[in-house]
Amino acid sequence: MSKYALLFDQSLCIGCGACEQACQSEHDQSPHKPDKLDHESFTWVEDLGKGQYTRHLCMSCEHPTCASVCPVAALEKSEFGPVTWDAAKCMGCRYCMMACPFEVPTYEWYERNPRIRKCDMCVHRVTKDMPTACASICPTGATNFGSREAMLTEARRRLAKSPELYQGAIYGEEEAGGTSVLMLLTKSVTESGLPDTVPHEDLPHLTWSVLEKLPAIIPVWGAFLGGMYWLGSRKDAVAAAEKNEGQDHDE
């Protein structure tokens, strides 16, 4: 398991955007108010209405699907928690965008040398035992940083103390096999604008556990083509998003 994790408590978030600003400053991005995750916004505080908010950022899966599908190992899971991307290795296939169950990675569509962009959980800080920029700036304690074990313990304590306040589960404790970003939600997963169909099994293991049960007489190509069909479907979705990005850019 990862050494560190973030804990986001929806009941304490006031939508101030300090985490967004701290993230942008930490990654040398122009100050702005995000309205989605994109190449200049690694985290986004979404206004859900009626004084409630949620955060969007890379969940830093314990067993990241993005890393498992990358053919050149440009994405890597650190023992500290972050999932990082290496520009020197990336060949721009964007399979990571298609494979991510949380739909997090974005792409620099309009750059001459485009990069995959996403939250890196302030890897340059956490590997020095420092908190992420977003956790260090949060004025209400809505975003916390510490060992994953300590964050889970704190989340369970809050659930036990105020069961009527939260949804009854820690989002990220089991999703995709567990993540390094944990969330206590006061609204449902769907109402919070988060993916609600992420399986609890880690997806790389789930894929191989199915493949190893296939009879030996079934050609490996069948499984391969099935996987390629799934990736193709996701690629269509990414292409549609690219088209929308282009239209927005033209406007």
What is the dihedral angle through the alpha carbons of 201, 205, 207, 213, rounded to the nearest 10 degrees?
A: -110
Scanning the structure block, which residue is given the tokens 């990414």?
A: 238
Q: Encode pLDDT of 47-82 as tens digits.
A: 999 999 999 999 999 999 999 999 999 999 999 999
Overall pTM surpassing 0.95 (yes/no): no
Q: What band does 209 get if pLDDT is binned at 50, 70 and 90?
A: low
Residue 93 class from Cβ within 10 Å (0-12 exposed, 13-18 middle, 19+ buried)? middle
CATH node for 4-213 = 3.30.70.20
